[in-house]
Structure 1
């Protein structure tokens, strides 16, 4: 009995002895975690706004955390690719560009909507009482789209169509450019187009749920109601922008970051709102497959070389 107790005691002591240096080892190697984010034209204000988020990360890792404000996604991509930062808050487009640049970043977490959606679907819609009922019927029709740099209004639908073998400029008789999906829908309603792009985060893409996209936002905006619409086509899910860590980050640090993010909304809502105010559902672990599919559709449309890195739909 004593021998057994002694053996167990020795094993416990050994576990404590060997776990402490290992835990300290990766922290000593890392020294500081540098987190990059899009700060715009007022980096001082942006750093102050994210202080509660920085503190939560630092508390979760037990490693000093420094914020790296960047004026553009291009600067963030360069900083993470070069190793100047180990963590970046990116748009989905910016992550695709980073991955093409170095394959050195891994999406670790992403925000979701209150309904749990990880992204949005781009759509093409027509008037319900019109002659267009399928994508085949839409050939030779007039399509209203968003601006050239609009993720939901042009980039995502064009990429999705290209991945299905459809070249929009050749398939449609006319492409009518508007400023965004809302304006495209207005163009359809006015009879100046036969089809319009839209987007939705709702499980039912034609839902008028408030906040789910332009179909749900129109009553809130006080605009004229749209006519009944029919869904003609929808894309695969376009994921919201991820939080990305370098692939050479120690696995223990990665695990601590993920745990901190997954619990952030519940444990420190003010810190969550500081970093992801546009998404009310909290963080979930990122699904790399969603980003790979998105990258493949961009490649099919030959759009990956001209990305503008917009973050919201």
Structure 2
């Protein structure tokens, strides 16, 4: 018994400096996220997530609310935050600006999928079934910075040698994919951009995004639509850390996050309430593929 206790004491003595070292280096872990116009409410809403990280890592954790992705990217690029919750587009944009960050985890859907697909859809009773048949037709798109509602579809068409501005008779700009699909249902356009993370994209099932929403509202039935084009898998936005964060801090964070849904589901839901499948280790290849699809160049200083 005494020998066993002596070994335990020796191990604690040997490991204590390493245990303390990375925590001393990190000090306080600052976690950035998008808070919009009501940061106090959002900080309070994420308290269970913050507390669980602090408990799991045994370091102080502070939340850094940002009003925009641009502000959040700047904060991470300059080191004011070591960890940020970003969209896929924000991450690959930041990666090409500073090469100073890496994706650590990404959330998953109820079906445990790592992302969604951008779509172009048309009515089943309409004349369009392929992109070739879409020439001189009317297209409804989402916002100009929307990855799912515009940019992914435009990048896909560019690969096919299609310039949307000259290819379509008219492009109707709408606030989001739900509005684009509503325009299609109303006969105002011939095609619309949309997205889905469901195994069966054109369904009212959980994860079908605007299709399920509009079906529930009685605006349209997904069975009246057909897919004209779909993207490769677009990964959900990652949780991103600075590359200069100590490796032991990264591994501890990875463990805490991938266990969070099972250990503290309320903490997970606070930060990823729309994606209930839990965190998995991020796949950097998915984000590289997305950057190549969108043709985002690296900044040369």
TM-score under structure 2 length normalisation: 0.89
Q: CA deviation at 1:77?
A: 0.8
Distance 1:224 1:78 in 2: 41
- 1:46 matched residue in structure 2: 42
1:10 Cα shift?
Answer: 10
1:22 maps to 2:23: no
**Distance (whole Å) between structure 2 residues aligned to residue 280 and residue 22 of structure 1:** 35
In structure 1, stretches of 5+ residues that fail to align are: 1-5, 306-313
Q: Determine if the alignment matches structure 1 residue 238 to structure 2 residue 249.
A: no
- Structure 1 CA distance, aligned partners of 2:182 and 2:42? 35
3-state secondary structure, aligned to 1:291:
helix
Match of 2:293 among 286, 290, 297: 297
Indicate conservation of the 8 Å contact 1:160/1:236, yes or no.
no
1:129 aligns with 2:120: no
Are 1:110 and 2:103 counterparts? Answer: no
Q: Distance in 1 between matches of 2:138 and 2:19?
A: 61
Stretch of structure 1 that moved more, 164-173 or 279-288? 164-173
- Residues 119-173 of structure 1 deviation map (CA, whole Å, 9 limit, x = unaligned): 2111111222333222222223221212323332212211232244322112223
TM-score w.r.t. the length of structure 1 is: 0.86
> Residue by residue, what CA displacement relative to the aligned partner does 1:232-283 show, whole Å, maximum 9, x if unpaired?
1001122211110101111111111111111112211221121111222121
> Which residue of 1 is the match for residue 264 of structure 2?
268
Aligned 8 A contact 1:189 1:227 in 2: no
For residue 210 of structure 2, the aligned residue among 214, 224, 230 is: 214
Cα distance between partner residues in 2 of 1:9 and 1:44: 49
Following the alignment from structure 2 to structure 1, what is the Cα–Cα distance between the partners of residues 235 and 161? 22
Q: Does 1:68 align with 2:68?
A: no
Q: CA deviation at 1:174?
A: 2.0
- Distance in structure 2 (CA, Å) of the matches to 1:226 and 1:95: 32
The 4+ residue runs of structure 1 with deviation greater than 6 A are 8-14
Distance 2:177 2:246 in 1: 42
> Per-residue CA shift, 1:270-310, capped at 9, x if unaligned?
2112111122212111111111121222226x9x99xxxxx
Question: CA offset at residue 9 of structure 1?
Answer: 11
- 2:185 pairs with 1:158: no
- Root-mean-square deviation (CA), in Å? 2.5
Q: How many residues align?
A: 297
Task: For residue 140 of structure 1, give the secondary structure of its aligned residue in structure 2.
Answer: coil
SS of 1:205's equivalent in the other structure is: coil
Task: Give structure 2 stretches of 5+ with no counterpart.
Answer: none
